[in-house]
Amino acid sequence: MNRSTTGTTDPALIPAPVRSAAVPGDGCTLDADTALAAGPGTADTERWLRATLGEALGLPLPPGTPGAPGTITLAVDPELPAEHYRLDTTEGSVRITGGDPAGVFWGAQTLRQLLGADAFRRAPIRPEGARSLPALRIEDGPRFGWRGLMLDVARHFLPKDDVLRYLDLLAAHKLNVFHFHLTDDQGWRIEIKRYPRLTEVGSWRARTKWGHRASELWDETPHGGYYTQDDIREIVAYAAARHIRVVPEIEVPGHSQAAIAAYPELGNTDVIDTSALEVWDTWGVNPNVLAPTDATLRFYEGVLEEVLDLFPVEVSPFVHLGGDECPKDQWRRSPAAQARIAELGLADEDELQSWFIRHFDDWLTARGRRLIGWDEILEGGLPGGAAVSSWRGYAGGIAAAEAGHDVVMCPEQQVYLNFREHGGPDEPMPIAYVRTLEDVYRFDPLPPGLSPEAAAHVLGTQANAWSEVMQNRARVDYQVFPRLAALAEVAWSPLPAPAERDFAAFEARMSGHYARLEALGVDYRPPGGPLPRQRRPGVLGRPLDGPPPQK
Ligand code: ACM
């Protein structure tokens, strides 16, 4: 080779590894002669490395012999815990040893970060360059087994390619859960063969509120789209190859107007004329909820049969059924709903919702899956095996964990990335409270005072990105990054208590990480504020002052 480009001696790894140390002796250089030797169970990482480093750095990585000089060796060693890995860059070779195939994959993500920001491009910009790495040993593994991002593709549709790209972005941050919010009042995004109107009717709306719901502006461009069943299969396979679990979310019994617009019999027909409903074109909590009838239960069993077929248990052990923000007014006024309450001997409408959720918990459990829902599913009683996404604060999560339910901590006060990142006037369509990069960095998924038994039920954490004012991929990027990088470190790295976290050191590493995000083409919010094209002057948001009220 003609030239050697140092990867870096200050690798600015994000998320920070558990241990990283320089070791005596020579490091290694990756160049056109570097081989790749993949042991049993590492074929997906082998393919990923060859595709990624081949594309970015022009390294062909021909097959090699494990442990030979000038070789990247991938191996599984079950002595290491799941998802853990060891990475050695010594004596002219690289060795990645994982506790399981996922651990090997996370080690490969670290190797890519060590190779410099150019390793995140789609074509070599220094075709002749070799990459030198110092002699290092990294020993690493995650704090939590659930490290995720929820993307709302219902309020604004994200085309399939954008979803695949987000899976790559999750993988680059060692995040392993993609929560796929597929249905809501404003759109139904997954093809269900036996109910074609869900997408024929339910995936389109004629116009869309532009900004917060109090805004006077409308975007009159029809909006919509959906994933075909083959698109879903591709997304699931792409996630699986990256050791990412997918949690499909089908909302019941609230947030269902798109489904009711497609099949009016799903709504409370004895209260309103559901045949007049259209896919909702504005935002908020919608009164039009599912009718608690046997026909509705059968309909959603039919939906879920196809969902389970598309999302196999290995990738999707959990199925999310929503359960949040279901106003009970129509049920109070509906003779049919009241008759159902009487027939079942229930106390009130909360118990009716609980009955609805329990039905699907039993149904999913019988099929080897686990139900997860937003913390409202605790109201009226929650069945044993169900898990909770704690969004309204820590309180629901604490109550659920103390009662022995598994919990994913995602309180809106901390990790809702649709909330504005800065208090300045240039923030596009600013929503709710200011949640800075530092706020997210100081989030702890384990609230103080949780008993050890309850803490063991906290599976981990995820950030949520609701898309009412995120109209496209650039808007999603702006809200999600850089804060997702902080969430990734919170979920993966063994950080001290929030007040003791060294945010300055994280910020210093972020300066290296911004270069990676740029190489990846992520339209993140720059530390200095939005670029002119990222602003949305004159489009109303709904900023709220002060710190978010904690619950
Ligand atoms: C939610 O934010 N309604 C879960």
Beta-carbon count within 10 A of 416 CB: 22
Q: What is the pLDDT of residues 69-92, one digit of tens each?
A: 999 999 999 999 999 999 999 999
Question: Given pLDDT bands bounded at 50, 70 and 90, which one contains residue 130?
Answer: confident
Question: In this predicted structure, what is the pLDDT of residue 383?
Answer: 79
Q: What are phi and psi of 55, to 5 degrees?
A: -65, -50
Render pLDDT for 48-62 as a digit per residue (tens, 0 to 9). Answer: 999 999 999 999 999
**Would 19-140 and 182-378 be classified into the same CATH topology?**
no
Q: Is the CB of 391 under 6 A from ligand 1?
A: yes
- The CB of 26 under 6 Å from ligand 1? The reply is no
Tell me if 419 CB under 6 Å of ligand 1: no
List of long-range contacts for 268-274, beta carbons under 8 Å, 24+ apart: 268/330, 268/331, 268/333, 268/334, 268/336, 268/337, 270/334, 270/335, 270/336, 271/330, 271/333, 271/334, 272/330
CATH of domain 182-378: 3.20.20.80
pLDDT at 44: 98
Secondary structure of residue 40 in the 3-state scheme: coil
For 104-113, 228-237, 380-389, 508-517, which range has the lowest pLDDT when averaged over its residues? Answer: 380-389
Task: Give the Cα separation of 342 and 355 in Å (integer).
Answer: 13
Helix 473-480 vs helix 160-172: crossing angle, to nearest 10: 20
Please name which of 412, 398, 366, 399 lies closest in space to residue 385, comparing C-alpha atoms. 366
**CA-412 nearest atom, ligand 1:** 2
CA distances from 251 to 174, 209, 481, 502, 507 (A): 27, 21, 26, 39, 37
Calpha distance 63→32 (Å, rounded): 12
432 ligand 1 Cβ < 6 A: no
Ligand 1 pocket test, pick from 183, 391, 415, 418 with the greatest ligand atom count within 8 Å of Cβ, gives 391
Tell me, yes or no, if 184 is annotated catalytic.
yes
Nearest atom in ligand 1 to the alpha carbon of residue 322 is: 4
Query: How long, in residues, is the chain?
Result: 551
| Token reading at 340 | 């159902």
Residue nearest (by alpha carbon) to ligand 1 atom 3: 324
361 assigned to active site? no
How far apart CA 462 and CA 390 sit, in angstroms, is 10
272 φ, ψ to 5°? -135, 165
Q: Would you call 343 a catalytic residue per the annotation?
A: no
Return the domain boundaries, the chain: 19-140, 182-378
Closest CA to 117 of 129, 106, 105: 129
Q: Give the side-chain half-sphere CA count within 13 A for 239.
A: 30
Q: Are 92 and 28 in contact (CB under 8 A)?
A: yes
What are the Cα distances from residue 117, in Å, to 13, 129, 170, 551?
A: 11, 14, 17, 40
Cβ burial of 108 (10 Å; 0-12, 13-18, 19+) is buried
| Predicted pLDDT of residue 10 | 55
pTM for the model stands at 0.97
Look at residue 247 in the predicted model and tell me its pLDDT: 99
Model pLDDT, residue 381 = 81
Q: Which residues, at least 6 apart from 349, have a Cβ–Cβ distance to it below 8 Å?
A: 328, 331, 332, 337, 341
DSSP category for residue 457 = T
Q: Of residues 33, 234, 305, 325, which has the active-site annotation?
A: 325
Answer whether residue 128 shows pLDDT above 90.
no
Q: Which atom of ligand 1 is nearest to the CA of 374?
A: 4
| Cβ 325 under 6 angstroms from ligand 1 | yes
How many angstroms is it from 325 CA to the middle of ligand 1? 7
Q: Which CATH class is domain 19-140?
A: alpha beta
Place of tokens 């919509």: 224
Distance of CA 258 to CAs 185, 199, 296, 457, Å?
5, 9, 14, 34
Question: Could you please report the per-residue DSSP string of 480-547?
Answer: HTTHHHHHHHHHHS----GGG--HHHHHHHHHHHHHHHHHHT--PPPTT---GGG--TT---EE--SS
323-347: average pLDDT: 97
User: Is 5 a residue whose pLDDT tops 50?
Assistant: no
Q: Sorting pLDDT into bands at 50, 70 and 90, what band is 9?
A: very low
Q: What is the DSSP string of 186-244?
A: TEE-B--TT-THHHHTTTEES-EE-SSTT---EE-S-EE--B-HHHHHHHHHHHHHTT-
**pLDDT top residue among 299 and 11:** 299
CA end-to-end span of the chain: 59
| Residue 8: pLDDT over 60 | no
**DSSP-assigned beta bridge partners for residue 136:** 22, 89
CB 107 within 8 A of CB 505: no
Per-residue pLDDT band at 370 (split at 50, 70, 90):
very high
Say whether 283 sits in a helix, a strand or coil: coil
Inform me whether the pLDDT recorded for 2 exceeds 50: no
Indicate which residue of 156, 181, 255, 513 is catalytic.
Answer: 255
Q: Does the pLDDT value for residue 127 go beyond 80? A: no
* Ligand 1 geometric centre to CA of 463 (Å): 12
DSSP bridge partners of 138: 20, 87
**CA-to-CA distance for 376 and 167, rounded, in angstroms?**
28
pLDDT digits (tens, 9 = 90+) for 394-426: 999 999 999 999 999 999 999 999 999 999 999
The token pair that represents 210 in the structure block: 């532009």
At a CB cut-off of 8 Å and minimum separation 6, what does 362 contact? 383
Per-residue pLDDT at 455: 97
How many Cβ atoms sit within 10 Å of the Cβ of residue 317? 14
Mean pLDDT of the chain: 96
Contact 389, 329 (CB under 8 A): no
Amino acid, res. 503? F
Q: State which ligand 1 atom lies nearest to the alpha carbon of 416.
A: 2
